[in-house]
Amino acid sequence: MGEVVGAGILAHAPTIMLPLDVRKELNEGKEISIVPGLRRLREEVFDALDYDTVIVFDSHWATTFEFVVTAQDRRSGLFTSEELPRGMCRIPYDFPGDPELARLIASHQDEHATWITAIDDHHLPIFYATVNLWKYLGAPGKRWISISMCQTAEAEDNLRLGRAVGDAIAASDRKVLLIASGAFSHTFWPLRHLRAHESSDPAHVRTPEARAADEERIEWMRRGDHARVLDTMDEFYRFKPEAGFGHYLMLAAALGERDLTAPGRLYSDYENATGTGQVHIWFDRPEGGFTRPRATDASGDPYPYPFRLEGTA
């Protein structure tokens, strides 16, 4: 039986890929804390834990008709970002995938009344929400797979995806790390003002209200009060969290949803990135493991197994 041995919501801001001297130039002569935070995560978590596969909930990958999970045996190449080619240019990546786990995740779609497709096409694009973190945290022989955000999905859909992931891991023989790769509030400064707000000081987050909402949720996560984060999503949507906070919703649902009480350890300060709120928070495996999620309908009753969406074969 497989299990999740650790999980975190991690910042992938493009700044982390810039040379140190450029980072300092943009940040009033100081290093941004999310870079040494990733190095500490590598040393204290990724190099210390026994795990087989990393699953990245990739907030930069937007699909439309379904969630997609990467199922290649290996992904390799050079990555240049269409968004910021000046800072992320020809970055080499090369790591094994986990086709078996990817297909197992997709096989749980009916139980959770959603759509998940495993794709093994080697021409499938890769995104920097995966590449940037792999560059800091990847290790030889460790498998990495990514799961998309679906741009037509609502919060409940993201939770269903996470439940399917949790069930698939439990049905496997894998020890897995989960990464929710993305920001909290996510509104950039307009272009004509943006360069005045490149410092990591959270005073530069787009609005004081967005900063307060981020810091409130960071504190709830630090205390392990994930139920409160989930119960106040409608309030948080006012501040446009990255990808509808789908990356976090998927992670939380895979780990037990409202039953998740794992406290978070901060591996960085809360920082600004051109108006957006960034932080690293890691959730250690509780004694006895994370709670396994269940498929439920709107009333809270378990779905009958197997479940098929109306109109599907």
List pLDDT tens digits, range 82-94: 999 999 999 999 9
Q: Span 30-41, mean pLDDT? A: 98
Q: Span 180-201, mean pLDDT? A: 97
Cβ atoms of 61 and 127 within 8 Å: the answer is: yes
Domain range spanning residue 194?
A: 3-284
Q: Is pLDDT at 162 greater than 80 in this prediction?
A: yes
Going by pLDDT thresholds of 50, 70 and 90, the confidence category of residue 295 is: low
The answer as to whether 294 is a domain residue is no
- Work out the angle at residue 190's Cα, subtended by the Cα atoms of residues 184 and 194, and round it to the nearest 5 degrees: 80
Which stretches within 27-154 are classed as H helix?
34-41, 99-107, 128-137
The answer as to whether 290 is a domain residue is no
- Distance separating alpha carbons of residues 46 and 38, to the nearest angstrom: 10
List pLDDT tens digits, range 48-63: 999 999 999 999 999 9
The answer as to whether 309 is a domain residue is no
Q: What is the pLDDT of residue 291?
A: 80
The answer as to whether 292 is a domain residue is no
Tokens 């990958």 belong to which residue? 61
- Distance separating alpha carbons of residues 254 and 168, to the nearest angstrom: 9
Q: Is pLDDT at 178 greater than 80 in this prediction?
A: yes
Tally of domains in the chain: 1
Q: Is pLDDT at 310 greater than 80 in this prediction?
A: no
Going by pLDDT thresholds of 50, 70 and 90, the confidence category of residue 266 is: very high
Q: Span 9-28, mean pLDDT? A: 97
The answer as to whether 313 is a domain residue is no
Q: Span 120-141, mean pLDDT? A: 98
Q: Is pLDDT at 188 greater than 50 in this prediction?
A: yes
Q: What is the pLDDT of residue 89?
A: 96
Q: How much of the chain is helix, strand and coil, in % rounded to 5?
A: 40, 25, 40
- List, as one string, the DSSP characters of 72-86: -SEEEEEE--SS-TT
The answer as to whether 304 is a domain residue is no
The answer as to whether 301 is a domain residue is no
Q: What is the pLDDT of residue 100?
A: 98
Q: Looking only at Cα atoms, what is the longest distance across the chain? A: 60
Q: Is pLDDT at 116 greater than 70 in this prediction?
A: yes
Domain CATH code at residue 128:
3.40.830.10
- List, as one string, the DSSP characters of 33-53: THHHHHHHHIIIIITTS--SE
Q: Span 142-152, mean pLDDT? A: 98
- Distance separating alpha carbons of residues 155 and 132, to the nearest angstrom: 26
Tokens 């939770």 belong to which residue? 159
Contacts of residue 32, defined as CB under 8 A and 6 or more positions apart, other chains included, come to 15, 16, 23, 200, 271
Q: Assign 140 to helix, strand or coil.
A: coil
Q: List, edge to edge, every strand of the sheet that includes 116-119.
A: 116-119, 67-70, 143-150, 53-63, 175-181, 3-10, 281-284, 264-266
Q: Is pLDDT at 305 greater than 50 in this prediction?
A: no
The answer as to whether 194 is a domain residue is yes
